[in-house]
Amino acid sequence: MKIGIAGAGAFGTALAITIGLDGRQVMLWARDPKAVQSMRDTRQSPRLPDVPLPDDVRPTDSLDQLAECDVILLAMPAQAIRGFLADHATGFAGKRLVACCKGIDIETMRGPSQSIEDLVPDAIVATLTGPSFAADIARGLPTALTLACKDETEGAYLQSALSTATLRLYRTTDVTGSELGGALKNVMAIACGACIGAGLGESARAALLTRGFAEMQRLALSNGARPETLMGLSGLGDLALTCTSDLSRNYQFGLSIGRGEEFDPAVTVEGAKTAIAVTKLAKRDGLELPISFVVADLVARNITVEEALRRLLSRPLKEE
């Protein structure tokens, strides 16, 4: 079996490393020919410089080589996936395509798997999501993720194809719940980061995490997700990790907002645009998501952290 990974960022490279170490051939595609040649020469990636690329990982800038693979993982930002597929859909027709990003497209309000279905309608579609950091996966630290696929048979095939000695995949057919859990937890991570960055304390973060989880369930269930999915790795598990770790880019972005500091614009923060997309979804569905709305305004710099706090604390008292 040959596995392709479109996107040689930290997460795509980490997946390539763990799969390659398990003895499977991996084509790791990057857009930049110079970056590909450097990885070939040094057997290292600038995104994960401390972990060498296994012999079975073959960097390439050839989309034809990528399209020869049996399974192709799309390890790119959620906002980039539609553009990539629009340009290259023909080569991926009929393939097993696995979205490895977390977000909601800001223009279409569609999740990654829906974007694949829109642009490559005859592809077999799945999503890989859950609590993980690229560095942990690459270093062989034990990690568990959710593999979501509507087709149970194909889901079982992909679960077997992508699991490794240290990367354990759990299977579900609830693609909607898995994707929304992964997308919405990034919004809550920004909120929790802003809370800690502003010095509001651990108790306030616990409140945001808990009430944020209620918002995640509210939006996901209104879109047809199953409740148990949000209680699993792709919901509660990912939320707990992302809202409490300094390794989370979304949490770090929130910290910078809370501290009034600039944040590196070159770092991808999926939750920033997802927050804006969530507000559109919520308004369409008539849902009240106060934390998500506040995060969208913080990201847009429409309000300060102090104003966000006043808005949340002045809401009417109610039952939990």
Told to judge if 102 belongs to the known catalytic residues of this protein, a careful annotator would answer: no
Does residue 258 contact residue 196 with C-beta atoms inside 8 Å?
yes
Does residue 4 contact residue 62 with C-beta atoms inside 8 Å?
no
Alpha helices in 223-248 (DSSP H): 227-230, 238-242
Residues 6 or more apart whose Cβ sits within 8 Å of residue 286:
none
Please compute Rg for the chain using Cα positions. 19
Q: Which two tokens stand for residue 235?
A: 């919901």
Q: What angle do CA 16, 126, 138 make, to 5 degrees?
A: 20
Q: How far apart are CA 40 and CA 45, in angstroms?
A: 9
**Of these residues, 185, 280, 283, 318, which one is catalytic?**
185
Q: How far apart are CA 272 and CA 254, in angstroms?
A: 10
Determine phi and psi for 235, rounding to 5 degrees. Answer: -115, -90
Give the strand pairing for 96-99 and 124-129.
parallel
- Amino acid at position 245, single letter: S
Instruction: Strands of the chain (E only): list them.
Output: 2-6, 25-29, 57-60, 71-74, 96-99, 124-129, 143-148, 167-172
Catalytic residues: 185
